[in-house]
Amino acid sequence: MNERKRVLVTGAGGFIGHHLVRRLKEDGYWVRGADIKEPEYEASAADEFEVLDLREMDNCLLATRGGIDQVYNLAADMGGIGYITAYHAAISRNNILINANMLEASRQNSVQRFLFSSSACVYAQDKQKSADVAPLREEDAYPADPEPGYGWEKLFAEELCRYYRKDYGFETRIVRFHNVYGPLGTYDGGKEKAPAAMCRKVALAADQAEVEIWGDGEQTRSFMYVDDCVEGLIRIMASDYHEALNLGTDELVTINQLVTMVAEIAGKRLDIRHNLSGPQGVRGRNSENSRTRRVLGWEPSIPLQKGLAVTYKWIASELRKAIAPQAEVIETTSSAAD
């Protein structure tokens, strides 16, 4: 029983936050969502949804008012590798403000427990130079050498959570996401992650055409379906563990393999064109899950093939909906010209 706990999800207008709100409501929680924007693809299931710029302290105090028991702090300025390598200053500034203000506002408003969403980008880059990378353990974040900008601000916010726990006795939880994907996520515009980008490119490609990917395609990653991510978040929040914890699968694939899997789901035969000048990030990254299994008695387990099938179907459907009105305009214009 959750005893009708009152929960705040920041970033509730985004991909993971939107799914989390829906799950929390299904589980019987009272939920307030807060974000700088409304959800893009469907209305939020939250009891209250407030459009707030959480870089501002007053807005963080407003979001955490009214006896909130738990805060899932998912709000962040982030995107795929192209985005996070292009805007180091803005991303770092925005996220440091959000995280510092949300921690302090939660403490001031007597929130019982605060979960911070960190990232696998905190891991030391010198441990990720090989495509057949050893799975990354939580302690591999130190000695510190995270990805510039986004990785550094995430690692600092992890430390800030520890300071708040030590100095104020404030209950914090820290989760490190490893490449989350699924339906209702950004799939174009520059902020999309690799699975969504590949699904979009394959959906738009004609059979026996080619798709472009950045790098030689042999860089490796593991990817976690959003339902596993949400389950893990709820379990971590409920746990007594307060150090950083990986949340990802250990199913390592190359980006070339990822494209092939999506093409097979789509029933297309496609060639790959490699753009060696595009940003690639680290050479390899995978999640080591022994601590997650020990602490939670569980780990993400939805196979990539299964999750991609659902994700591809949704993105292809969205693209068809976007293209249909354009086709109608072209047809109408053509008819008028006749």
Q: Which amino acid is at 254?
A: T
Nearest to 170 by CA among 120, 116, 119: 116
Contacts of 76 (CB under 8 A, 6+ apart): 11, 95, 98, 117
Does residue 183 contact residue 19 with C-beta atoms inside 8 Å? no
What DSSP state is assigned to residue 285?
-
Does residue 250 contact residue 135 with C-beta atoms inside 8 Å? yes
What kind and span of H or E run contains 115?
strand 113-119
Catalytic residues: 150
Q: How far is CA 287 from the centre of its chain?
A: 15
| Parallel/antiparallel/unpaired status of strands 30-35 and 210-214 | unpaired
Does residue 146 contact residue 155 with C-beta atoms inside 8 Å? yes
Nearest to 56 by CA among 10, 110, 123: 10
Q: Three-class SS of residue 257?
A: helix
Question: What are the φ/ψ torsions at residue 332 (nearest 5 degrees)?
Answer: -65, -45
Instruction: Please provide the size of the chain in residues.
Output: 338
In whole angstroms, what is the distance from residue 315 CA to residue 186 CA? 9
Nearest to 180 by CA among 231, 229, 242, 121: 229
